[in-house]
Amino acid sequence: MAANANEQTQEELILSFLSESGGDYTSGEALSSKLGLSRTAVWKHVEALRAKGYRIEAVSARGYRLVEVPDRLTSLEVGPLLDTRDLGRTIHHHESLPSTNEKAFRMAQDGARHGEVVVAEQQTAGKGRRGRTWVSPPGLNLYFSAILRPGLPPQRAPELTLVAAVALAESLRDAGVEAAIKWPNDVHIDGLKVAGILTELSAEPERVHFVIVGVGVNLNSQAEHFPEELRATATSLSLALGQPVHRARFAASLWTRLEEWLDLYLDTGFDAVRARWKALSSTLGQDVLVRTDRQELRGRAEDIDPSGALLVRTAEGSLERVLAGDVEQLRPRR
């Protein structure tokens, strides 16, 4: 693994040298002296980059030129587009992981810092809420987990999921679709799920050690990429827009939004997030069926309380507080 990590750094360095020279050629000699590598080693790295989809022209006596950058989610593609202080400044990029949440959780236990992000091109065991799986085919979508060390008491950590939902819905709106939040933290376009959030926590009674905010966004999946049973309920940004989505640009926009909302939340508290969440919600005002681990509940989704729990008014007139569950909207808002 250490050799791989090292190789990745060399490849990233080669790419940044090549991007710095714009469309001009960089000689093999210049690259090998900058990197302290032999010309053969530079060539091998260039070949490895080509295998990953970078188009690098090589002309004898002139050197190398970067012609095309693939749609990938390494720091090299996302970094220049980012407008954040911490979030995504360190990206741990993987071709394939069972789950970015699991990886980020272990890294946080080992001391990874606030704002570090784990990204995978593919997940083989992507985790959804309530024990479900998150379908994560390679190279199409965005699957990441952000490591946050927010200095909050553990009981306030669930609010971070709503912070992320607001950022997610806003960045999808920035991309040109009418995204809405379905309680607790699904993001929908025209009633079809486009993104989900899985927040996991490590804490002691008084103090959060870290929070992992895991987000999956269907960016370029087409109908055939969804399993049969999801086709009627899932969508992607690309399906909604009718055109391919530049994943690195979307990731940079989302992380920028996420850090803005996180800063506001940590500075001023939950009120502004709650107000924005309510404005973006497709659940409030709806007749709903809520399924929790213990019960099924029907009523009108009236509000979310200061901690993000759903308040449901039943036919009998009582107001029930639901902390976790799934919501089925029984008829569209009038």
- For binding to ligand BTN (CB under 6 A), which residues are involved? 99-101, 123, 126-129, 132, 134, 143-145, 186, 196-198, 214-216
Q: Please tell me whether 136 is known to bind a ligand.
A: no
- Residue 82 or 117: which CB sits closer to ligand BTN? 117
- Residue 80 or 227: which CB sits closer to ligand BTN? 227
Distance CA 169, CA 253 (A): 11
Which residue is closest to ligand BTN by CB? 196
Terminal alpha carbon distance of the chain = 56
Give the dihedral sign, CA 116/258/237/182: positive
- Residue 144 or 183: which CB sits closer to ligand BTN? 144
Q: Please tell me whether 100 is known to bind a ligand.
A: yes
Find the shortest distance in angstroms from Cβ 130 to ligand BTN: 7
SS3 label, residue 235: coil
Backbone angles phi, psi at 38, to 5 degrees: -70, 160
Find the shortest distance in angstroms from Cβ 17 to ligand BTN: 32
Q: Please tell me whether 256 is known to bind a ligand.
A: no
Distance CA 266, CA 7 (A): 38
- Residue 94 or 156: which CB sits closer to ligand BTN? 94
Find the shortest distance in angstroms from Cβ 195 to ligand BTN: 8
CA distances for 303 relative to 175, 192, 283, 284, 313, angstroms: 28, 22, 9, 6, 9
- Residue 57 or 71: which CB sits closer to ligand BTN? 71
Among 113, 80, 89, which residue's Cα sits nearest to residue 258? 89
**Beta-sheet pairing, 91-97 with 142-148:** unpaired
Find the shortest distance in angstroms from Cβ 45 to ligand BTN: 29
Distance CA 17, CA 190 (A): 44
Backbone angles phi, psi at 83, to 5 degrees: -125, 50
- Residue 101 or 281: which CB sits closer to ligand BTN? 101
Find the shortest distance in angstroms from Cβ 223 to ligand BTN: 19
Distance CA 202, CA 166 (A): 23
The pair of three-digit structure tokens given for residue 76, joined into one six-digit string = 């090299």
- Residue 75 or 161: which CB sits closer to ligand BTN? 161
Find the shortest distance in angstroms from Cβ 252 to ligand BTN: 17
Among 3, 93, 105, which residue's Cα sits nearest to residue 52? 93
Give me the residue label for tokens 């507080």: 321
Find the shortest distance in angstroms from Cβ 131 to ligand BTN: 9
Give me the residue label for tokens 């929070």: 211
Annotation: binding site for biotin: 99-101, 123, 193
Annotation: binding site: 99-101, 123, 193
